[in-house]
């Protein structure tokens, strides 16, 4: 795996939970929007699989990435495909802290209300 944030988001866009968690440490702390943090690769895999089941697909349009030490900050527009086929794009920011090439902490700041409205 690589610390290439754009490649990580490309893997997420496949909606394959195993490709998603391949970028995480075993003890990762992951927080998506206003959900409670999830700890551990297997637990994140289950949470992500559950989320993927609620949408028809997604594409991350990465606008900017800033690297500061072991942390990457990404500014993204996420295009979701709803179950009804409608596309909804929402702004998003992610903060990923790495241990080596794997994310050990991942915070996602996004408002999903438009996706499920």
Query: For residues 99 and 76, what is the distance between their CA atoms, to the nearest angstrom?
Result: 22
| Structure confidence at residue 3 as a pLDDT band (50, 70, 90) | confident
Mean pLDDT of the chain: 96
Percent of the chain whose pLDDT exceeds 70: 98
Nearest to 81 by CA among 110, 60, 64: 60
CA–chain centroid gap for 79, Å, is 12
The parent domain of residue 71 ranges over: 5-116
Residues constituting the chain: 117
Q: What is the pTM of this model?
A: 0.92
Task: List the 102-110 sheet strands across, edge first.
Answer: 38-39, 24-32, 102-110, 87-99, 71-81, 57-68
pLDDT at 1: 53
pLDDT digits (tens, 9 = 90+) for 51-98: 999 999 999 999 999 999 999 999 999 999 999 999 999 999 999 999
CATH number at residue 42: 3.10.450.50
If one counts the domains in the chain, the total is 1
Query: For residues 39 and 57, what is the distance between their CA atoms, to the nearest angstrom?
Result: 24
Query: For residues 115 and 117, what is the distance between their CA atoms, to the nearest angstrom?
Result: 6
């Amino acid at each position: 795996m690589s610390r290439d944030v754009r490649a990580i988001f490309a893997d997420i866009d496949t909606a394959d939970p195993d490709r998603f968690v391949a970028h995480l440490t075993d003890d990762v702390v992951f927080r998506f929007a206003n959900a409670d943090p999830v700890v551990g690769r297997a637990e994140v895999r289950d949470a992500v699989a559950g989320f993927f089941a609620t949408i028809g697909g997604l594409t991350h349009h990465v606008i900017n990435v800033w690297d500061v030490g072991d942390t990457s900050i990404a500014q993204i527009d996420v295009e979701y495909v709803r179950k009804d086929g409608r596309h909804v794009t929402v702004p998003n920011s992610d903060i990923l802290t790495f241990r080596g090439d794997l994310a050990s902490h991942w915070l996602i700041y996004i408002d999903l209300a438009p996706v499920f409205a």
